[in-house]
Amino acid sequence: MNKKISHYLELAARWHVFFLLFIYGSGKLLGGQFYRRGHLPDEIANTPLIELSGFDLAWSFMGYSYGYILFIGISQLLGAFLLLFEKTKLLGVLILIPILTNIIVFDMIFFDKYGALASAILYFLLLLLILYFNKDKLKKAIQSLTYVKKEPTTFVIMEKWKTALIVALIIGIIFGVEQIFVNLLGH
């Protein structure tokens, strides 16, 4: 594909995802999404849980914790803003892919209308397109993160067993401490 066309397509994908996720992220922070605790619509507050739709249950659950709303909204805004800059676009994609994966699964499970799901899938596909256009950079980054220097094998096998035993012991200690806290603080 022509380099200039690829550049324009990537830029359009980045800007499109930025604008829409900026709107969604801001909406979360400004109270435009979710039924917030203390601000439930009367028809939701007065309906038995068993009679609520999946959407209403999900929207109420997601709105229960303002801290969670802040986390999701700020994460969406951060990832979206990182898409705007050449040096940070891949970091933005890597932040947004798990967020959009969660949104897609959430919408598939809880919603009975699929407009929001279609939009989330489109944003996800646009992020994959950005990764595709940057596949060489991504490949280098993965190789850099996963490169392991080859060592002679005779001594290495004994060292690996020793390391595995020490790590297993440390994991056992960490697990024990964790369980003490879980039991003290409750499940």
Do 45 and 76 fall within a single domain? yes
Rounded to an integer, what distance in angstroms lies between the CA atom of residue 184 and that of residue 87?
Answer: 45
The model carries a pTM of 0.76
Number of domains in the chain: 2
Range of the domain at 136: 3-146
| pLDDT tens, position by position, 149-175 | 776 666 677 788 888 899 999 999 999
Residues 105 and 29 reside in one and the same domain: yes
**Do 108 and 179 fall within a single domain?**
no
- Residue 66's pLDDT is 86
- Rg of the chain over Cα atoms, rounded to whole angstroms, equals 23
Place of tokens 């997601």: 62
Do residue 60 and residue 130 come from a single domain?
yes
- In terms of phi and psi (left: phi > 0; alpha: psi -120 to 50; beta: otherwise), the region of 109 is alpha
User: Is residue 98 domain-shared with residue 166, that is, in the same domain?
Assistant: no
Q: Are residues 12 and 34 in the same domain?
A: yes
**Is the domain of 44 the same as that of 107?**
yes
**pLDDT tens digits along 99-138:** 999 999 988 888 777 788 899 999 999 999 999 999 988 8
79 and 160 belong to one structural domain: no
Pair (7, 93) in one structural domain: yes
Q: What is the mean pLDDT of residues 82-98?
A: 95
